């Protein structure tokens, strides 16, 4: 029987590794973005850094997931941590002594994103075995709380230090973060709840990837959960496009108010994920998913209200408070959806397929978001913003109401509310 002390040790070390790596990376990424903008003055060059961060994750996630099932995950995690530290050390030396051209930062961002893709896949597929089924919601919630906390603090620290320190200092901070994360990972038992010792596979990577896709295809619940995640990610992509347009262009509110409104999203995620980490695991996940998606759809639609002609005369101070509340609730709704879905996916997936399943999820969700950015950015030129928000909200509400009426998906979800969660096949 696994002791609570062993679980607690794993969880503490995992959170330590996570907070230093995520906070360090957020500070570093923010500083890189500011540096590129200050040197080039071009938003295009800044967008290239974002593309070089996202694209490798979309393209390489399936390979990373396959390798995390094929190889020892702990070794992947430790190796990628120290590889990131070594890579940024090389870039730092080149930046200080050789060249400070922008292409060096592009190269650094691209390679770092590639390595991080393999790290993230191994970590996400190890959480279940690290803490077990009874502490899975706690671990997933705390993981999200760390990400949200770092998302709030990272830009603040990056902005404060950027005017005081050279860019090489941010690189050194990130090097230390990866190094500490690697050291912490050495002492984590990533196979505490594994049914058997991991065995290195001998089949080809291509065949194992096909096996993973075949596994997902046969699992009705998994397939639908992944589609839910992709659907929500696609339609929610309207939010980061529409919010600045509404606040800064339509309502002509000051930039500091936009910053507060935007920052409240991370605060909402932090608060809700912390609450979920302190509560017992949600038993009625079907109800959580239904309520979460209904609330998300309604809130997205309500986000467009300040553009309606009847509300244009309302004071911006009132609109500021209104948007603050809506964005906080949006973040909470996202957590009410995401945490149960991630717990279900982890519990409903056999360990030998978990890396590939998580990779399929990440690939679909990661690809849906930039696709949404492009499409909604174009639609914003042709349609009123409030129409886009209503369409997005109705699409999410309509999807979950259809699934509720169809009953099959919710019947599968209700089966997972039983004490023992098994892999559910079609």
What pLDDT, in 10s, does the model give residues 190-228? 888 876 555 555 567 778 778 878 887 888 888 888 888
pLDDT at residue number 152? 80
Give the residue ranges of DSSP H helices in 41-135. Answer: 43-70, 73-97, 102-124, 127-131
Please tell me the predicted confidence (pLDDT) of residue 421: 38
Token digits of residue 320: 């500021």
What residues have CB less than 8 Å from 166, skipping those under 6 apart?
none
Query: What was the pLDDT predicted at 353?
Result: 83
Distance separating alpha carbons of residues 360 and 356, to the nearest angstrom? 6
Structure tokens at 303: 């986000």
What domains can be seen in the chain, in order of their start residue? 4-135+150-192 (1.20.1250), 211-416 (1.20.1250.20)
pTM of the entire predicted model: 0.79
pLDDT tens column, 33-77: 778 877 776 656 666 777 787 888 888 888 888 888 888 899 999
Q: Name every residue whose Cβ is closer than 8 Å to that of residue 361 and which is 6 or more positions away in sequence.
A: 226, 229, 345
Q: Length of the chain in residues, anyone?
A: 426
| Count of beta carbons in the 10 Å neighbourhood of residue 418 | 9
In terms of Cα–Cα distance, which of 379, 243, 367 is closest to 307?
243
Instruction: Check residue 143 and give its pLDDT.
Output: 87
User: For residues 270 and 267, what is the distance between their CA atoms, to the nearest angstrom?
Assistant: 5
Angle at 140 between CA 16 and CA 9, to 5 degrees: 40
Pick out the chain residues at pLDDT < 70.
Answer: 1-2, 41-47, 195-203, 415-426
The two structure tokens encoding residue 138? 């706690």
């Amino acid at each position: 029987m696994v002791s609570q002390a062993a679980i607690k040790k794993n969880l503490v070390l995992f959170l330590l590794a996570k907070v230093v790596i995520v906070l360090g990376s957020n500070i570093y990424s923010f500083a890189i973005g500011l540096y590129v903008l200050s040197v080039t003055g071009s938003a295009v060059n800044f967008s290239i850094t974002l593309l070089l961060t996202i694209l490798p994750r979309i393209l390489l996630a399936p390979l990373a997931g396959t390798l995390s099932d094929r190889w020892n995950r702990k070794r992947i995690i430790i190796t990628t941590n120290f590889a990131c530290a070594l890579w940024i050390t090389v870039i730092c030396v080149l930046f200080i002594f050789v060249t400070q051209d922008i292409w060096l930062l592009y190269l650094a961002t691209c390679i770092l994103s590639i390595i991080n893709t393999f790290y993230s896949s191994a970590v996400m597929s190890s959480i279940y075995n690290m803490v077990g089924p009874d502490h899975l919601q706690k671990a997933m919630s705390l993981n999200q709380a760390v990400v949200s906390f770092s998302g709030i603090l990272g830009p603040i620290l990056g902005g404060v230090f950027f005017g005081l320190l050279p860019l090489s200092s941010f690189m050194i901070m990130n090097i230390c973060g990866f190094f500490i994360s690697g050291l912490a990972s050495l002492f984590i038992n990533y196979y505490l709840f594994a049914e058997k010792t991991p065995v290195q596979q001998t089949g080809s990577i291509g065949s194992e990837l096909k096996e993973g896709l075949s596994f997902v295809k046969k699992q009705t619940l998994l397939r639908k959960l992944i589609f839910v995640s992709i659907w929500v990610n696609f339609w929610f992509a309207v939010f980061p496009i529409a919010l600045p347009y509404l606040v800064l262009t339509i309502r002509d509110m000051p930039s500091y108010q936009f910053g507060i409104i935007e920052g409240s999203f991370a605060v909402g995620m932090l608060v809700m994920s912390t609450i979920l980490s302190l509560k017992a695991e949600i038993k009625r996940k079907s109800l959580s998913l239904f309520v979460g998606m209904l609330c998300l759809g309604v809130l997205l639609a309500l986000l467009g209200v300040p553009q309606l002609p009847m509300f244009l005369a309302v004071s911006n101070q009132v609109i500021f408070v209104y948007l603050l509340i809506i964005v906080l609730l949006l973040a909470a709704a996202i957590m009410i959806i995401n945490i149960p879905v991630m717990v279900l996916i982890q519990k409903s997936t056999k360990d030998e397929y978990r890396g590939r399943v998580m990779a399929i999820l990440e690939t679909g969700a990661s690809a849906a978001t930039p696709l949404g950015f492009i499409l909604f950015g174009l639609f914003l030129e042709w349609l009123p913003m409030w129409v886009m928000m209503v369409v997005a909200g109705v699409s999410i509400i309509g999807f979950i109401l259809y699934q509720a009426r169809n009953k099959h998906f919710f019947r599968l979800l209700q089966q997972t509310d039983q004490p023992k969660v098994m892999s559910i096949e079609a």
